[in-house]
Structure 1
Amino acid sequence: MSSTMPFGTDLRAELGTPRRSCRLESSPRSRVWRAEVDGTPVVVKQLVDGPEADERYAREVTALRLAARSGPPVTPRLLGTDPAERVLVLELLEHQQPREDWLIDYATTLARLHATTGPADAGGALPAWSGPTERDTESFLHLATALGVEAPSAVRAELDGLLARLHRTPGHALLHGDPCPGNDLHTTHGVRFIDFEQASLGHGIVELAYLRIGFPTCWCSTAPPPALLDAAEAAYRTAWRDATGTDVDGDLTDACAGWLLRGDALVQRARRGATDHLAELPARDWTWGTATARQRLAHRLAVVDGLAADRDDLRHLGRLAAAVRRAMLTRWPTIRPLPAKRP
């Protein structure tokens, strides 16, 4: 694809002639421009050729149209599309420096986003969310063995039960797929989410868990202070209740434990799917964004240890998580906590 901003005849007929275009920084999977169309500032995004590019484009367009149901808005407005060129034209919103308690506004908007879809949307253009698999549990148990930690025999049954609960948990929430700091715009009118290439339908609890488990699919992995974390989770539950008239269901402990098992959540998207990343950790560490893989895993282990302490059906997994973390800190004493603030 050319580096020239794509704005074809149909878009010009619908929206007008673009002027003053300027290329913006973006991921390797897309090209993004800022421009003006008939005096209105817009963002033009084109998904580049690559694996699953058509699917990612379809997910983003579908998610933005579904999210447009929300009031107040939770995304920029989708102004136009060109499917042949995989182009979206979006309302331009100016991002401001997030407040110290940014996580509360973030969680509130995340709940409103999740609440825009329901059972009637199942089976549509968005796929269902997919959770961890038996391959992930085996990889986690192999990591424990590699670190000299013997897994209790009862932990396999607990992991089987965990997978079964995650897979059968009903949910039709509009999931962003990568709700990271950086994919949230903090504006004068509230938070808006962008970049829905990985959107799906599932249970909102798996993305509410991002706050506590350290933003597992994100380059900017952080561990917010406990008071802010509690306030943000409460804000999510309040916003969900206001939007749906129901209380948040689902199990936050199960959701966090599910993220612990996923080695693919230790690397950026381009590296997911082909390698057992948990198996790599004993031999090497690597940095992605704000943290190393061992930092990320140590944080997740501590979270699951704390949450599972009072759970009869996850007690052994919690103890195993604590033992693996101790083994990591003994072997690599320089592992530091995740950053407390977003970059």
Structure 2
Amino acid sequence: MLSRLPFGETLRAELGTPGRVRRLASSPRSRVWQAELSGTRVVVKQLIEGPEAADRYAREVTALRLASRVEPPVVPALLGTDPHERVIVLEHLEQRKPPDDWVIGYASSLARLHAATGADAKGTLPDWTGPTQADAKSFLSLAHALGVAVPAGVRTELDGLLARLAHAPGHSLLHGDPCPGNDMHTTDGVRFIDFEQATLGNGLVELAYLRIGFPTCWCATSPDPALLNAAESTYRTAWRDATGTDVQGDLTDACAGWLLQGDALVERAHRRTTDHLARLPDRDWRWGTATARQRLVHRLGVVGVMASSGSGELKGLARLATSMRDTMLTRWPALKPLPRRRP
């Protein structure tokens, strides 16, 4: 196994010769090993050849360096890099079982991660991109396919939503995939790993994960409402402590943005391949802890409640989301709520 470890002469000269090498589980886009350097355990990660491999590597290294400014830490320490082989060497973290109220620590660390960057970071990472006109059109087509009438004014509301999301204030360091499994629960707090999709944008698009059901994650969950409210309050407090300012933006808009995106119903390898919302009337499919219809019913319920009690800019969407949810539950009564707990 040692001979397969991509640990070249540059890294050996800088960090020493690795020993006690063991392969770890990883995504199809990377290879990961645990090794020892001078008796200290480290993690060696290589981004393998494939679509956008160089970009994913650059994003991860850049994000780790930007996040390293946060104290207490919210990421593992970056010990070494080999751009030619797309290799990073990281501090090894001891993972412990997440507590039942894990969303509290998660939200605190997420806020501090987001606060790692400001306007001075512009250009270091790509800007976050949200839903498009094509997503909005697909969502409305799904409503028609379900036999649900679209209230007057919803198209205008969606145009406004897309514009607000595209111009949402902030240059936060966004993880890009802040899922259960990419959060390491340690004795010193939660730290995040796997920044291959990192961007800069408004942090609420990731705080929304807790309420909307972790839209880019195999592990879709819906925390207990009391824990959810406490986590969102913790996020806002941690942000204020780190920046001296209040969180800007609209959480309802962020959740509604995820509702529109059919690509947030499938794992990454299947995104940008077809209109996934158009598939839902005829078939369902399981991804991780839930099916696509389960995920969408949850999101429709969340947006229906939030938009109906919000600023009024999405009142028509609130009625549409509620009607679509009711129709889906009538047509497929066996659909279950998202699980409360992470696996």
Q: TM-score, normalised by structure 2?
A: 0.98
- For 1:327, the aligned partner's letter is T
Deviation at 1:136, TM superposition (A): 0.2
Give the Cα–Cα distance (whole angstroms) in 2 for the partners of residues 188 and 85 of structure 1. Answer: 32
Other structure's SS at 1:136 match: helix
Give the Cα–Cα distance (whole angstroms) in 1 for the partners of residues 176 and 322 of structure 2. Answer: 28
Q: TM-score, normalised by structure 1?
A: 0.98
Give the Cα–Cα distance (whole angstroms) in 2 for the partners of residues 184 and 3 of structure 1. Answer: 30
- Residue number in structure 1 paired with 2:130: 131
- For 1:72, the aligned partner's letter is P
- For 1:214, the aligned partner's letter is G
- Residue number in structure 2 paired with 1:109: 109
Give the Cα–Cα distance (whole angstroms) in 1 for the partners of residues 169 and 306 of structure 2. Answer: 22
- Residue number in structure 1 paired with 2:70: 70
Structure 1 residues 210, 3: closer, same or farther in 2, change over 3 A?
A: farther
Structure 1 residues 314, 95: closer, same or farther in 2, change over 3 A?
A: same
Matches within 5 A, 1:71-90: 71-90=71-90
Matches within 5 A, 1:17-166: 17-124=17-124, 126-166=125-165
- Residue number in structure 2 paired with 1:269: 268
Give the Cα–Cα distance (whole angstroms) in 1 for the partners of residues 332 and 3 of structure 2. Answer: 45
**1:134-188 CA-partner distances (Å, limit 9, x unpaired):** 0000000000000001111310000001001111112100000000010000001
Q: 2:23 touches 2:32 (CA, 8 Å); kept in 1? A: yes
Deviation at 1:236, TM superposition (A): 0.4
Unaligned runs of 5+ in 1: none
Give the Cα–Cα distance (whole angstroms) in 1 for the partners of residues 285 and 341 of structure 2. Answer: 21
Other structure's SS at 2:142 match: helix
- Residue number in structure 1 paired with 2:242: 243
Unaligned runs of 5+ in 2: none
Other structure's SS at 1:210 match: helix
- For 1:10, the aligned partner's letter is T
Matches within 5 A, 1:4-15: 4-15=4-15
Other structure's SS at 1:238 match: helix
Give the Cα–Cα distance (whole angstroms) in 1 for the partners of residues 200 and 15 of structure 2. Answer: 31
Give the Cα–Cα distance (whole angstroms) in 2 for the partners of residues 200 and 10 of structure 1. Answer: 29
Give the Cα–Cα distance (whole angstroms) in 2 for the partners of residues 232 and 152 of structure 1. Answer: 34
Matches within 5 A, 1:283-322: 283-310=282-309, 311-322=311-322
- For 2:330, the aligned partner's letter is T
- For 1:122, the aligned partner's letter is K
- For 1:326, the aligned partner's letter is D
Other structure's SS at 2:220 match: coil
- Residue number in structure 1 paired with 2:336: 336
Give the Cα–Cα distance (whole angstroms) in 1 for the partners of residues 267 and 33 of structure 2. Answer: 23
- For 1:44, the aligned partner's letter is V
Give the Cα–Cα distance (whole angstroms) in 1 for the partners of residues 60 and 129 of structure 2. Answer: 17
- Residue number in structure 2 paired with 1:188: 187
> Which of structure 1's runs of 4+ aligned residues deviate more than 6 A?
none
Give the Cα–Cα distance (whole angstroms) in 2 for the partners of residues 48 and 283 of structure 1. Answer: 36
Give the Cα–Cα distance (whole angstroms) in 1 for the partners of residues 318 and 29 of structure 2. Answer: 38
Give the Cα–Cα distance (whole angstroms) in 2 for the partners of residues 31 and 312 of structure 1. Answer: 48
Other structure's SS at 2:154 match: helix
Deviation at 1:312, TM superposition (A): 1.9
Q: 2:169 touches 2:248 (CA, 8 Å); kept in 1? A: no
Structure 1 residues 238, 284: closer, same or farther in 2, change over 3 A?
A: same
Give the Cα–Cα distance (whole angstroms) in 2 for the partners of residues 302 and 200 of structure 1. Answer: 28
Q: 2:69 touches 2:116 (CA, 8 Å); kept in 1? A: yes
Give the root-mean-square deviation of aligned CA atoms.
0.9
Structure 1 residues 293, 65: closer, same or farther in 2, change over 3 A?
A: same
Q: 2:170 touches 2:248 (CA, 8 Å); kept in 1? A: no
- For 2:212, the aligned partner's letter is I
Other structure's SS at 1:270 match: helix
Give the Cα–Cα distance (whole angstroms) in 2 for the partners of residues 169 and 29 of structure 1. Answer: 31
- Residue number in structure 2 paired with 1:199: 198
- Residue number in structure 2 paired with 1:231: 230
**1:306-326 CA-partner distances (Å, limit 9, x unpaired):** 001123210000000001111
Other structure's SS at 2:130 match: coil
Other structure's SS at 1:85 match: coil
**1:29-70 CA-partner distances (Å, limit 9, x unpaired):** 000000001111000000111100000000000000000000
- Residue number in structure 1 paired with 2:280: 281
Give the Cα–Cα distance (whole angstroms) in 1 for the partners of residues 209 and 216 of structure 2. Answer: 9
- Residue number in structure 1 paired with 2:214: 215
